[in-house]
A and B are shown apart, each in its own frame.
Chain A
Amino acid sequence: MPLLDDPVARPVPAAPPPRPRRTGRIPVALLLPAALGLLFLVLPLVGLLVRAPWTTLPQRLTEPGVLTALRLSLQTATLATLLCLLLGVPLAWLLARVDFPGRRVVRALVTVPLVLPPVVGGVALLLVFGRRGLLGGWLDSTFGITLPFTTTGVVLAEAFVAMPFLIIAVEGALRGADTRYEEAAATLGANRWTTFTHVTLPLVAPGIAAGAVLCWARALGEFGATITFAGNFPGRTQTMPIAVYLALETDLEAAIVLSLILLTVSVAILASLRDRWITSP
């Protein structure tokens, strides 16, 4: 887990003697590709910054549609992450801890949204939850619930695309966790559910947090499935990525401004969360 420290207690000796750090030259064979990799990731950002219309920035920021789209993006990404946690953590537990027939197949199915082009994912969601969809028609006639073109639809589309990131991270954390702690809990009278909530979850909390961050970031940037399933309507389904895409049709600079806002806000949120985790005892 890249974001957090490993929480599992090491064998207990009070303070291990400081180990001498390896010093010396960093091998060029590692440094060069590492630097190139960083450059490759950062240069497009530089491109955005160079082309940003700095002089007109303040007035563009205060345009009403911008804040609406930003707020909607943050809300839907957060709700989608919560939905993924609610459904994804139990699924990850099942995959990590229960040996059931067809587990390999289920594990492969979970990753389908990763390889599916998001637009196809959106169409697939329409075919299930749409007005004529497998479940959508029934939802509409029985409960009067329609999902396409609603904010709920945005959340569903984002959750669909982002859930695999959470499941993979949490399953990895669960596989890495020491199951003997769960046995210890059982000897103290904890049933499986209490063990899960009081022992397993806290043990893999860093893995869940890392998975949730990945999930949130993916949901925030989601475009294809969202615009296909939920469409585009300001204030209801127009998230930042969709606003960026449409701005690109007419106004490159507006698109750059929107992208920078999305980047700044998400990086700020992730950085502040990370600080809190690392400084917490």
Chain B
Amino acid sequence: MNARRFRTSLAAITALAAVGLAGCGGGDDAGSPQPEGSGSAVTGSVTVFAAASLTESFTQIGKDFEAANPGVKVTFSFAGSSALATQINQGAPADVFASAAPTNMKVVTDAGNGDGAPTTFVRNQLVIAVPKGNPNGVTGLTDLTKPDAKVALCAEQVPCGAAAKKALDAASVKLTPVTLEQDVKAALSKVKLGEVDAALVYRTDAKSATADVDGIEFPESAGAINDYPIVVLKNAPNKTAAQAFIAYVLSDTGKSVLTAAGFQAP
């Protein structure tokens, strides 16, 4: 079997799966009357692929959006941005993609799967996560270079690792971590378990674990601010709803939810 034929058949299988899913989704509301929404004519279901770090805030925004637009059903798929990008490029039936890093967004837009240019809707900044009460008195990056300090970073291949590298380079700090974790939650859990003295994580992650962890701000993080872009996808089954959802995320209501979670406005 040659590569092209293989790819063709793979595409065919994915397309079939997509049709199947879309058919199921459409069946839900095909016969139901369109209720008058809050001024808009948004109906049907909208599928949002969003970075894992958006789980709490987007779930809240989704509920609010559904309340504001009766007749709309929002479905989320939360996962690592790179995994989501791969799925979208393989033909997964999504309407919206919210990425935790521009690089993953670029993978999607370069493949021609974005509908228009992405918009940056929030930014996230690194903090130093330390065990609750900061027992080692960490105040800045230089405290992490002490020889007996155990530090967890994210691997460079994932966004929080790339951001950490940028910040450390900007500060000209040389740091030897004990581990390069596969994602930010894993790095954070090492702090929670007390296995490391500190980890560089996003402020939102530190905020989600305030019971076990304190987040220490450090000035060099300004040099490694992470932008979260969002876009409507080219093959979106429900583009109207997708645009309405993005507009809702960018609205003041959406922003307040995101800020409460620790995100910064762009």
Contacts and interface: CB of A to CB of B under 8 A. Distances in A.
A127 B190 CA distance: 11
B194 A249 contact: no
A130 B1 contact: no
A152 to B, nearest CB: 13
Interface string B176-197: 0111111000100110011100
Nearest to A132: B194
Nearest to B6: A50
Interface in A1-57: 46-47, 50-51
A253 to B, nearest CB: 12
B171 to A, nearest CB: 21
B3 interface: yes
Given A232-B179, A232-B181, A233-B178, A249 B186 contact: no
Interface in A205-254: 227-228, 230-234, 237-238, 242, 245-250, 252
Contacts of B239: none
Given A50-B1, A245-B182, A248-B82, A126 B193 contact: yes
Given A46-B1, A246-B155, A250-B157, A231 B178 contact: yes
A149 interface: yes
What DSSP secondary structure best describes chain A's contact surface?
helix
Contact of B157 (A148, A233, A246): A246
Contacts of B103: 250
Residue of B152, B155, B157, B180 contacting most chain A CB atoms (<10 Å): B155
Contacts, number: 67
A50 B158 contact: no
Contacts of B80: 249
B132 interface: no
Tier of interface size on chain A? 20 to 34
Contacts of B181: 227, 231-232
A149 B193 contact: no
A53 to B, nearest CB: 11
B158 A249 contact: yes
Nearest to A245: B182
Contact of A232 (B82, B86, B182, B193): B182
A232 B155 contact: yes
Given A46-B1, A50-B6, A246 B193 contact: no
Interface in A180-219: none
Interface in A44-95: 46-47, 50-51
Contacts of A227: 181-182, 186
Interface string B55-80: 00000000000000000000000001
Contacts of A232: 155, 179-182
B154 to A, nearest CB: 10
B150 interface: yes
A239 to B, nearest CB: 13
Contacts of B155: 232, 246, 249
Interface in B71-110: 80, 82, 86, 103
B183 to A, nearest CB: 9
List the 3 shortest-distance A-B pairs measured between CB atoms, nearest first: A231-B179, A249-B157, A132-B194
Given A230-B179, A237-B179, A247-B157, 8 more contacts: A126-B195, A127-B193, A131-B194, A131-B195, A232-B179, A232-B180, A232-B182, A233-B179
Interface of B: 1, 3, 6, 80, 82, 86, 103, 150, 152, 155, 157-158, 177-182, 186, 189-190, 193-195
9 contacts: A127-B193, A132-B193, A132-B194, A149-B179, A227-B181, A233-B179, A246-B157, A246-B182, A249-B80
Interface of A: 46-47, 50-51, 123, 126-127, 130-132, 148-149, 227-228, 230-234, 237-238, 242, 245-250, 252
